[in-house]
Each structure stands twice: as structure tokens, then as C-alpha cells.
Amino acid sequence: MAAVGSMVFCTDCGNLLPSTKGTEKNILQCECCGQWNKDTGSKTIVTKSKPSDFPSALRQKLHSSVQTVERHNIQTETSVFERCPSCGREEVKYTTVQLRGADEGSTVIYSCECGNSWNENN
């Protein structure tokens, strides 16, 4: 007799047997050929696999050497000619970040060497 999930099939004719009761002690009779079969629908089959069992080109790319970047070591600021409202310096640094919704403009954060910083929502 063969079992697929909770479906049990007759060993003689392969017909689908009546619904399983969930115990091996139960015996199911085939409605097609009359053969009596043990109820094996309750058996639990556990299979295990690992990613290497299913090779793919995408998975191979994932195992390539990846460069890690630490956030505090990234230079994200750029210089721009903008007057600092605190000290009057003509050139300040700026960076842009997306603080609001994706359909809204970025926020530009300016910072001066004097320690002053301000932002504009575009």
C-alpha cells in the first residue's frame, strides 16, 4: 500500500482508499477490488534538505565574495556653496536622506565646520 500525505492507495489495484482514520491498527477495504489494506495515512515522513541539494545560478552568485562596508566609514557628505546661517561660511557639507514617504522629496541636511547644522525638505 502507498500513502501520499493522508491519502492511502490500495496495494493491489492502486485505487484511492476511503479516508484514513489515522491509526495503523485500522484496516481499510478497497471499494474497487475488495482488498483489505492497513491504514498507513498516519505515518509521518520527515525529509531534510540543504541549499546545495538544489543548485542554481542565483545561489552561486550569493556565495560570491561580498564586500562589507561599515556605515560609519562611508563618506556620504558632499561640499556645496551654501551660506551657513550661524558663521557665514560660504562652503558647507550636505547629505540627503529619505525621512518621509517614498513619494515625497528627500531631506537635505547641511553641516558646517563651525558645528551648526540645519535641514531643508525638498
73 DSSP assignment: G
Residue 33 labeled ligand binder: yes
Residue 32 labeled ligand binder: no
CA 43/CA 20 separation, integer angstroms: 11
Burial degree of 107 (CB within 10 A; 0-12, 13-18, 19+) = middle
CA 31/CA 36 separation, integer angstroms: 10
Residue 112 labeled ligand binder: yes
- Cβ atoms of 114 and 86 closer than 8 Å: yes
Cell of 37: 489494506
Q: Count the helices and strands in the chain (H runs, E runs).
A: 1, 8
Binding-site annotation, residues for Zn(2+): 10, 13, 30, 33, 84, 87, 112, 114
Binding-site annotation, residues: 10, 13, 30, 33, 84, 87, 112, 114
